[in-house]
Amino acid sequence: MFKKVFASVLMLVMVFGVSVTLNAQEDKDYQMWESIMLTPDNTKLKILADNMRKHNEKYHSEDPYKATVYNISSGPNSGKIIWEMGPMMFKHNDTRPSDGGHDDDWRDNVMPYIKKVHTIEYWSKDDKLSNTSSLTDNNSDHPIMFVRYFEINQDHSYTMKSVFKQVSETIKSLPGDNPWGLYYNAFLQGDLGRHVAAVSFYKNWAQFDEDRKFKDAYEKLHGDNTWDSFLDTLDDTFTNRWDEVWIYNKHMSGD
């Protein structure tokens, strides 16, 4: 999916501010999602929900244009929604739904009930480090996503790969079902940061109460008394980190 060469190009763009349009010619199989953050008109939620469902059922029911909708229920963007399309590649934007009434339907039946369009981003998955093999195409199996965003410190960007490699190894060593994905933002977002996102997938809220003993698993792999050093490296590598919880909206997704 998202192999070494493409990841290296993305890191150059994110860390050093190279202003270019990325292409994935080096990897024919990478997976990417278009993510649009929207503020709904809370006085018209039922109309918006029904109209977006109809839109997604008609125009976004199959890959690579399949749409999924999430409600942001925690964090600085609580109350907003995410409209997500994919998995896709950049080339699919050339043939994305636009004719046949698509654009008119979005304009006339969805946008009147949206107060604001925020970020439109493209997130590519690091398949090597991610641990998502247990996920199915049914979003209802893991309807809760715990999203942690990272803003890279340019002076310490060289440590990012090793940090996430250690996290990935630790998660993969844990017993049970622990789906986790690592995603890179394809384009700079200015003051928003949002360079990298790590996503844990949950079946229900009760799983947040479980102690997965991540620290113990980390030190078992990397040695006793290594945890504090790991935390210090995290602080050096990233200038900011923050969390959001997304809840799968089955109705609006058109499923």
Give all domains of the chain, ordered by start, each with its CATH number.
4-253 (3.30.70.100)
The fraction of the chain above a pLDDT of 70, given in percent, is 89
Query: What is the chain's mean pLDDT, rounded?
Result: 89
What token pair was written down for 77?
């963007």
Is the predicted pLDDT of residue 183 greater than 90, yes or no?
A: yes
CB atoms within 10 A of CB 151: 18
What is d(CA 11, CA 195) in angstroms, rounded to the nearest whole number?
9
Q: How far apart are CA 8 and CA 20, in angstroms?
A: 14
Local confidence band at 16 (pLDDT 50, 70, 90 cut-offs): very low
Measured CA to CA, the distance from residue 231 to residue 220 in angstroms comes to 16
Q: Read off the pLDDT of each residue in 157-186 and give the average, rounded to a whole number.
A: 96
Angle CA 197–30–125, to nearest 5: 15
155-164: pLDDT as tens digits: 888 999 999 9
Helix, coil or strand: residue 144: strand
Which whole number is the average pLDDT over 201-213? Answer: 96
Amino acid at 183: Y
Task: Determine the Cα–Cα distance for residues 27 and 84; give it in Å rounded to an integer.
Answer: 22
DSSP category for residue 229: H
Q: Is 84 exposed, middle or buried (0-12, 13-18, 19+ CB in 10 A)?
A: buried
Question: Is residue 113 over pLDDT 60?
Answer: yes
Q: Is 241 left (phi over 0), alpha (psi -120 to 50) or beta?
A: beta
pTM here is 0.87
Tokens of 180: 């986790």
Q: Is the pLDDT of residue 19 over 80?
A: no
Residue carrying the six token digits 């749409």: 67
For 39, the token pair is: 């503020």
Helix (H) or strand (E) holding 181: strand 180-185
Q: Using one digit for the tens of pLDDT, what is the confidence trace for 43-53?
A: 999 999 999 99
